[in-house]
Amino acid sequence: MKKFLFSLTVLTLVAGSARAATVTIFDNMNRTNPPVTYNCCQGFGIEGQQNIGAGPLVAVAVAFTPHVSANLTEIDLPISYYSGTNAITVALYTDQLDAPGSIVKTWTFANLSSFNTCCTYLAATSPGTRVYAGRKYWVVVRTNFNMLNTTVVWNLNATDPTTPMEYSRYCSSNPQGLACPASWGNNQWISQPFAPGLAMAIFGQV
C-alpha cells in the first residue's frame, strides 16, 4: 500500500510540471526560432521633454491580445540608444477604449545598445503576472523624470513587413521647442494600425 501511494504522488507531480509549458504569445523578431532579427536602422523614436532636438515628449505603445491565458514570463524589445541619458522605461498596460489604460507592471533599463546596430534586445522578465485570452494589453516604452533628455528608438520588425500592428503614440508639446503635429494630438494617446510593425516577442507559461 505504501508503494502505491508513493507512485501516485510521483505521477501527480509529473503531471503538474507538464502543465507549466512555455507558450509564445507574440513574436515577430525570431525569438522562438533564432537567430533574432529586426530592422537595425529604422524605428519609432521615444523622447523625454528635454531631448536634444527640442522636440515634444513622445511615448510609444503596441497592442497584443493573448490567444491563451498565461502567466507572463518575458517581454523582449529591441530598443536602441540614440542620445541623452542611456536608459528607458518599459511598461505593461491594460486597455481602455483602444489605448493604454492602467499600469500593470514597469521595468527600467540602462546601457542600451546603439542605434544602427543589431541584434540585442531588452528582456523584461515578469514571473507571476497574469494575462488573459481575448483581452487586449499594451506594451509601452516611455521616459521618466530621470530621463528628461533621453532619445531612444524602438526598432521595426524585419520578419513580417506587411501585417499591420495596432500602434499608439502619446505626444506632449515642448513649451520651449516644437509642438506635437496636429495628427498626433497633444497629451493623449492616438492609436492606429501600422505596417511594418515594431519588433517584439512575448512569452508566458500555461
Whole-number percent of the chain with pLDDT over 70: 90
pLDDT at residue 5 is higher than 80: no
pLDDT tens, residue by residue, 73-86: 999 999 999 999 99
So what's the pLDDT on residue 11? Answer: 33
- Closest listed residue to residue 55, CA positions, set 143, 138, 140, 139: 143
Mean pLDDT for the stretch of residues 182-205: 94
Helix, strand, coil percentages, rounded to 5, for the chain: 10, 45, 45
pLDDT tens, residue by residue, 131-154: 999 999 999 999 999 999 999 999
Residues in the chain: 206
How far is residue 94's CA from residue 72's CA, in Å, rounded to a whole number? 14
pLDDT at residue 190 is higher than 80: yes
- Calculate the alpha carbon distances from 61 to 6, 70, 109 in Å: 51, 21, 17
Beta carbons of 137 and 72 less than 8 angstroms apart: no
The reported pTM is 0.88
pLDDT tens, residue by residue, 32-76: 999 999 999 999 999 999 998 899 999 999 999 999 999 999 999
How far is residue 67's CA from residue 177's CA, in Å, rounded to a whole number? 43
So what's the pLDDT on residue 14? Answer: 37
Furthest-apart CA atoms within the chain: distance in Å: 80
pLDDT at residue 2 is higher than 80: no
pLDDT at residue 130 is higher than 50: yes
Which one-letter amino acid corresponds to residue 148? L
Q: Where are the beta strands (DSSP E) in the chain?
A: 22-27, 43-47, 57-64, 70-77, 79-83, 87-95, 100-110, 122-131, 137-142, 151-155, 165-172, 188-194, 201-205
- Closest listed residue to residue 42, CA positions, set 162, 152, 161, 156: 156
At 19, the pLDDT band (50, 70, 90 cuts) reads: low
pLDDT at residue 6 is higher than 80: no
How far is residue 74's CA from residue 205's CA, in Å, rounded to a whole number? 10
**How many of the other CB atoms lie within 10 Å of CB of 46?**
26
pLDDT at residue 128 is higher than 60: yes
Whole-number percent of the chain with pLDDT over 90: 84
- Closest listed residue to residue 79, CA positions, set 48, 38, 50: 38
Beta carbons of 26 and 132 less than 8 angstroms apart: no
- Mean pLDDT, the chain, rounded, equals 89
